[in-house]
Amino acid sequence: MNPRLTPLAAALAIAFAAPAHAQANNTADLDTVVVTATRFSEVDTNVPSNISVITRDDIRKTPAYDLPSVLKGAAGLDVRALYGSLGIDSTIDIRGFGETAGSNTLILLDGQRMNPIDMGSVSWSAIPLDSVQRIEIVRGAGTVLYGDKATGGVVNIITDKSGAPRFGATVGFGSYDTQTIDLNGAAGNETGYVNAFAHYAHTDGWRQNSQAEQAALSGRGGVYIGKGEAFVDYSVYNDRSGLPGYLLSAAYAANPRASTFPQDSQRSDGYRLRPGVTLPIGDTLRFEAELSMERQNQHANYVSWSSEASRRRDNWSFTPRLRWQHGLGGLKSETVAGFDYYSGEVDATYTTSASQSANQDSSGVYFQNVTEWLPGLATTFGGRSQRMEQSAYQEAYSAWYGMQPAMNGSATYTRSAWDLGVSYAGNGWRAYGKGGTTFRFANTDELFGYDPFTGNPTFAGNLKPQTGTLGEIGGSVALGPVKARAALYRMDLEDEIAYDGALFANVNLDKTRRQGLELEADWRIVPSVLARLTYTYADATFREGAYDGKQVPLVPHNKAAARFTWDGAAIGQYSAVVNYVGQRYYSGDYANAYDKLGSYTTVDFMAAWDFKPWSITARLLNAFDKMYSPYAGYSTFRSDYYYYPADGRTFLMTANYNFR
């Protein structure tokens, strides 16, 4: 048997082993439930933070048709893709980390890490958009509850776990020979449930050699144990795409659809299997735990460089935790405590360079207490200690420029974090304040370095863990048809880990600061018209050293979005989304010595018609065909700017049929 088919066969078996006469389970979208703030389902949480929740209904009303693009309009977030097609290589940046956003924004799927241990991107293909029930966004450090890589914030993607009997299919077609197929099905009774989501998409791409294809199957099967359950989450996926590369200034201006590397390509496949259990222990204690296993295989063919690269990543995790509603005298009080263990390894081979491997083991303990002292007045206090053990190895390599010796090294670090907050809620309003600390360890790719004098490989064991402090105040208010949220924050970091192109090395930067303002508002203009408005002001600067006072590259000062939705009932639903991203410095320009990358505004439209059991949706993205580049840099070798253009005007129409 082909071993690569084994996870798929297992997933299919789980997905369709449902009882023939299943009965309905709970299908309600509990939009007020927040998981990310406590790692347990919590209604109307007192945790001091502005948590944005993108509901299933929000997703249906947005023109975006890939998961990262759904996040574009959220305050404090910036979404950057190199090639745009299907969101395969998108990076989410919370609170202005620019180039290192992927290592400072934690992406979770049902509370489990999606970030790889190296510098690779999140496997968005493993998450069919149709499977998403809601998305929770917590800005500011989530280090106490989630550990490493949560410095900027946390995005937790919550999937649909219902077993209500259903089966639906959606097919789509659009610009550049885009084709999509989505299937979903579920069944359940008083004993348990299963659900499954299948997704396929293909596009020839807007740019030359930007074709992309992705396929995924995911879902969950569970058996009820009293008021708890035992379950298995699963996903298998495969994607492939062209790698058109950057365009220098003249080529970008002349034809942004061109390709510098017309034959380069990549492909990846993988699976994730996560058995778990959630059990109440008496009336005041609840236990939850998951054991996760994940593998990803990647292969890139750089025809333009006569080179190929292959990489295999394996990750395991065990995350047990307890929620104890113990009270404090006559006060309402609860404590969450848990243990996280993560282990991963990466093996990479190259046809024109030496093979590399790296291992990482992380273990952490944490707790968080929330106590309500008066009705509406609550405090939060938590802490975490985490130990990271890492090792890296590179084989000896003989090339035309001489012999490179082998390299190996290892390092162990331990860091702690704490947070403290207070929140107070009145009639139609809420205010909070919080402070705390954060940390990040180097990822495995950052462990590899080179001696600037000999060119020999070195182990970057001198990279210190990144640490920082955070302060934030904010709140929310409901005034008739308007609901608004606001936050002011400041984060000071020391030993921030980043790549400095002037030194050709990963380094600990001089002290940096992030501070800013985030605003979100929902305005029900009339019963059938809703406006959602967001604005972000972000200031990311160096506060000492050679770059003192300079801006961190790729971080715009200003970002805004507006979405207007009209529910025309029998004549359909219509949405318009406007996204604005301000000027920012080019990637790598820590000295702010070059021009700024221009601002841009895009407009997307969507229309949907419901003819039960049919529904039709039409999307028009980048309606005015704006030419822009979400990611660009300056090359000292070429003495020129280079760009990764975003897609131009794109149309997609889908038709959905619900069989039951």
Largest CA distance in the chain: 76
pLDDT at 36: 81
Asked if the model's pLDDT at residue 455 lies above 90, the reply is no
pLDDT at 398: 67
For residues 12-31, give the mean pLDDT.
34
pLDDT at 259: 97
Strands of 6-145, DSSP E: 33-34, 42-43, 51-55, 77-80, 91-94, 105-109, 112-113, 132-139
SS3 518: strand
Quickly state the pLDDT bin for 45 (edges 50, 70, 90).
Answer: low
Residue percentage of the chain with pLDDT more than 90: 80
Full DSSP string of 440-492: EPPPGGGGEEE-TTT--EEE-TTPPPEEEEEEEEEEEEEETTEEEEEEEEEEE
Number of Cβ within 10 Å of residue 147's Cβ equals: 26
Q: Residue 400: what are its φ and ψ, rounded to 5°?
A: -60, -25
The two tokens of residue 368 are 């968080």
Euclidean distance between CA atoms 42 and 30, whole angstroms: 10
DSSP label at 49? S
Those residues whose C-beta lies under 8 Å from the C-beta of residue 155, and which sit 6 or more positions away, are: 71, 92, 94, 105, 106, 107, 108, 135, 136, 137
pLDDT at 11: 34
The two tokens of residue 564 are 């207007």
pLDDT at 55: 92
Give me the torsion for CA of 578, 582, 584, 587, rounded to 10°.
0
SS3 3: helix
pLDDT at 258: 97
State the residue range of the domain holding 576.
3-658
pLDDT, tens digit (0-9, with 9 covering 90-100), for 76-126: 999 999 887 788 889 999 999 999 999 999 999 999 999 999 998 898 988
Number of domains composing the chain? 1
Which contiguous run of DSSP H or E holds residue 9? Answer: helix 6-15
Asked if the model's pLDDT at residue 26 lies above 50, the reply is no
Asked if the model's pLDDT at residue 298 lies above 70, the reply is yes
Where does residue 150 rank: exposed (0-12), middle (13-18), buried (19+ CB within 10 A)? buried
Asked if the model's pLDDT at residue 266 lies above 70, the reply is yes
pLDDT at 404: 73
Euclidean distance between CA atoms 391 and 439, whole angstroms: 19
Where does residue 569 rank: exposed (0-12), middle (13-18), buried (19+ CB within 10 A)? exposed
pLDDT at 9: 34
Q: Which residue has the higher pLDDT, 42 or 128?
A: 128
Euclidean distance between CA atoms 487 and 415, whole angstroms: 27
For residues 561-578, give the mean pLDDT.
96
Looking at every residue in the chain, the average pLDDT score rounds to: 90
pLDDT, tens digit (0-9, with 9 covering 90-100), for 479-522: 999 999 999 999 999 999 998 877 778 899 999 999 999 999 99
Residue pointed to by tokens 């083991």 = 361
- Are the beta carbons of 108 and 114 closer than 8 angstroms? yes
For residues 432-440, give the mean pLDDT.
97
pLDDT, tens digit (0-9, with 9 covering 90-100), for 602-649: 999 999 999 989 999 999 999 999 999 999 999 888 899 999 999 999
For residues 387-393, give the mean pLDDT.
96
Q: What is the pTM of this model?
A: 0.92
Where residue 12 falls (left for φ over 0; alpha for ψ -120 to 50; beta otherwise) is alpha
Where residue 100 falls (left for φ over 0; alpha for ψ -120 to 50; beta otherwise) is alpha
Q: Which residue has the higher pLDDT, 529 or 40?
A: 529
Quickly state the pLDDT bin for 339 (edges 50, 70, 90).
Answer: very high
pLDDT at 551: 97
Q: Which of 151-165, 401-415, 428-442, 461-475 has the lowest mean pLDDT?
A: 401-415
For residues 44-53, give the mean pLDDT.
81
pLDDT at 44: 56
Asked if the model's pLDDT at residue 299 lies above 70, the reply is yes
By C-alpha distance, which of 602, 581, 587 is closest to 642?
587
pLDDT at 652: 96
Asked if the model's pLDDT at residue 27 lies above 60, the reply is no
Residue pointed to by tokens 């605003």 = 519
Which CATH number is 151's domain given? 2.40.170.20
- Are the beta carbons of 162 and 93 closer than 8 angstroms? no
For residues 438-451, give the mean pLDDT.
91
- Are the beta carbons of 508 and 499 closer than 8 angstroms? no
For residues 443-458, give the mean pLDDT.
84
pLDDT at 7: 34
For residues 290-314, give the mean pLDDT.
96
Those residues whose C-beta lies under 8 Å from the C-beta of residue 6, and which sit 6 or more positions away, are: none
Asked if the model's pLDDT at residue 417 lies above 80, the reply is yes
pLDDT at 16: 33
SS3 185: strand
For residues 553-581, give the mean pLDDT.
96
By C-alpha distance, which of 269, 201, 195, 271 is closest to 236?
271
Those residues whose C-beta lies under 8 Å from the C-beta of residue 35, and which sit 6 or more positions away, are: 41, 42, 111, 136, 156, 158
pLDDT at 33: 65
For residues 10-14, give the mean pLDDT.
34
